[in-house]
Amino acid sequence: MQREVDVVVLGAGPVGENIADRVRAAGLEVVVVEHELVGGECSYWACVPSKVLLRSAAALRAAKRVPGAAEAVTGGLDVEAVLRRRDEWVSGWSDAGAVSWLEGAGIGLERGHGRLDGPRRVIVSRDGTDSDAADTMTLVARHAVVVATGSDPVVPPIPGLAEASPWTSREATSVERPPARLAIIGGGVVACEMATVFAGFGTEVVVLARSGLLGGMEPFVGDAVAAGLRGLGATVRTGVQTTKVERTDAGEVVLTLDDGSTVVADEVLVATGRKPRTDAIGLETVGLEAGDWLHVDDGLQVEGLDAPAAGDDGPWLYAAGDVNHRALLTHQGKYQGRAVGDLVAARATGHPSDLSAWGVHAATADHSAVPQVVFAEPEAVAVGLTEAEAKKAGRTVRAVEVSMTSASGAGILADGYEGRAKLVVDEELGTVIGATFTGQDVAELLHSATIAIVGEVPVDRLWHAVPAFPTMSEVWLRLLEALGRPETQA
């Protein structure tokens, strides 16, 4: 069976949904191919369930930090109620609502594994194999195929680890009963957030991080989160490496470390990075390497394809989201999806495209303005470059750092508030190129920093952006004061 459509999208997660929505809005016929749940990793096993699992304990801790509210807290966390709320937010792992949205938007859906079969061709195997031609169909794209298949967790080749049935983020966020003891291998976002979740549940948590926590952010962030996790009762060990894992007959997991010590737990969570879902999508049929990240330009067009056949020299293959390795974050993937969806539609309908820096079809923000929130204890947020990254890039920078308690709003929010704020300024441009905040509820400070960076707002102009008193946003004034008041030009 063969069907011709305007655009085929591989993957119906949030990125694929955004691509298809923008293409369909332009009047084109689009089909998405998905072998799991429509809504993808974020909706059922990552962003949504993890943040729901984090929220209840965070609210309880927040109440306990405010006299008057603290006295009203008479019980502990109801873990079963938290898990029920998680189940509601993931719709019981049913994608009926997401499928209904696709249908209402006029977007086609094919259930099955999609793989390329040369330019513009996608074979959909409904049973995941090619054993029976009756279970396959071929989609031929008139204009484009967009890959939005996402990524999977990496299980490192530690002896015995795979055989010990380790958890990945999926098992952690879909947990039915928290274990009494949990060992976590890794020090990134998933490791820190899941350590916060399970420590909040009362689980005995041990984090084993070879290179420290949150190494891609400013150094004070990892220190703050490590201290916060220890405050929740978790053990954080940095500078150690797991050399062997064994699941005993009693069901315990024994982890041997490179210093000779051991950690015993009921479950082990692996949070050591991601790999692209490209090993079985037919990349080899268009001259690419199966299992590789897909390298793209700012229009999200895949690079390195075989030379096109005669008469087929137009761009046709694009990749958005995790699979292109530009920024492994749902919101950034959705941003890419909107851009590439509009670009594909413009090219298909003969409209002009704009791939200039910050143009409507260019994913420029991927290079310099990627916002990230780590919902740990405490929260940690950042956008743009760290001071070290800016200096490595040859930028002339000045960085300032202040305590969050320099803003009255932080002290009013919670007794004993702890947190820091940092700006990185390009002295030649006179603009902010990096911002980092740690502390309770700092996530809502991030977008103002993102706007400052994307808009390339001069620091001198930021003095006129007056923060309301007494909010935590007043920390912006303290940061500007640390940079120094603008001088009058002679």
Q: Is the dihedral of CA 398, 404, 408, 409 positive or negative?
A: positive
Residue ranges in 132-246 assigned as alpha helix (H)? 169-173, 189-201, 219-231
Q: Which residues share a beta bridge with 138?
A: 2, 123
Which residues lie closer than 8 Å to 302 by C-beta, 6 or more apart? 147, 288, 294, 295, 296, 317, 318, 319
- Mean pLDDT across 438-449: 97
Percent of the chain clearing pLDDT 70 (strictly above) = 97
pLDDT of residue 126: 84
Exposed e or buried b per residue across 108-120, where buried means at least 16 C-beta atoms within 10 angstroms of its C-beta: bbbebbbbbeebb
- Mean pLDDT across 51-68: 97
Query: Which range has the worst mean pLDDT, 7-11, 66-70, 130-134, 276-280?
Result: 130-134
Return the ∠ at Cα 149 (arms to 28 and 96), rounded to 5°.
Answer: 70
Rounded to an integer, what distance in angstroms lies between the CA atom of residue 260 and that of residue 258?
A: 5
Does residue 439 have a pLDDT over 70?
yes
pLDDT of residue 308: 67
Q: How confident is the model at residue 133 (pLDDT cuts 50, 70, 90)?
A: low
State the CB neighbour count (10 A cutoff) for residue 280. 14
Does residue 309 have a pLDDT over 60?
no
pLDDT of residue 134: 59
- Taking the CA of residue 235 as centre, how many other CA atoms within 13 Å lie in the half-sphere pointing to its CB? 15
For the record, the structure tokens of 136 come out as 């396959």
pLDDT of residue 1: 87
Rounded to an integer, what distance in angstroms lies between the CA atom of residue 302 and that of residue 290?
A: 14
Alpha-carbon dihedral angle through residues 338, 341, 346, 348, given to the nearest 10 degrees = 180
Does residue 389 have a pLDDT over 90?
yes
Does residue 128 have a pLDDT over 60?
no
pLDDT of residue 387: 98
Does residue 306 have a pLDDT over 90?
no
Residue keyed to tokens 């001198």: 460
**Predicted TM-score (pTM) of this structure:** 0.94
Chain-centroid distance of CA 311 in Å reads 39
- Mean pLDDT across 311-322: 86
Q: Pick the residue with more confidence: 454 or 127?
A: 454
- Mean pLDDT across 319-348: 98
For the record, the structure tokens of 204 come out as 């005995």
Q: Pick the residue with more confidence: 159 or 133?
A: 159
Strands, sheet with 204-209, edge to edge from the N-terminal-most edge strand: 235-238, 204-209, 181-185, 267-270
